[in-house]
Chains A and B, each alone.
Chain A
Amino acid sequence: SQQGEEDPQALSIQEGENATMNCSYKTSINNLQWYRQNSGRGLVHLILIRSNEREKHSGRLRVTLDTSKKSSSLLITASRAADTASYFCATGFQKLVFGTGTRLLVSP
Chain B
Amino acid sequence: EAQVTQNPRYLITVTGKKLTVTCSQNMNHEYMSWYRQDPGLGLRQIYYSMNVEVTDKGDVPEGYKVSRKEKRNFPLILESPSPNQTSLYFCASSTIRDRNYEQYFGPGTRLTVT
Contacts and interface: CB of A to CB of B under 8 A. Distances in A.
Interface of A: 1-2, 30-31, 33, 35, 40-45, 48, 88, 92-101
A94 B31 contact: yes
Contacts of B105: 42-44
B43 A41 contact: no
Contacts of B103: 35, 43, 45, 96
A95 B48 contact: yes
B21 to A, nearest CB: 14
A98 B104 CA distance: 14
B88 A2 contact: no
A94 B56 contact: yes
Contacts of B99: 30, 93
A41 B59 contact: no
Given A33-B100, A88-B43, A101-B42, 6 more contacts: A2-B42, A40-B110, A41-B108, A42-B92, A43-B103, A100-B41
B106 interface: yes
B102 A48 contact: yes
A94 B107 contact: no
Nearest to A45: B102
Contact of B33 (A1, A2, A96, A99): A96
Contacts of A93: 99, 101
Interface string B29-64: 001010100001111110010100000101100000
Contacts of A96: 33, 45, 101, 103
Nearest to A1: B59
A22 to B, nearest CB: 15
A80 to B, nearest CB: 22
B58 A95 contact: yes
A49 to B, nearest CB: 11
23 contacts: A30-B99, A31-B100, A33-B100, A33-B101, A35-B103, A40-B108, A40-B110, A41-B107, A42-B106, A42-B108, A43-B105, A48-B100, A48-B102, A88-B42, A92-B101, A94-B31, A94-B101, A95-B45, A95-B48, A96-B101, A97-B59, A98-B43, A100-B42
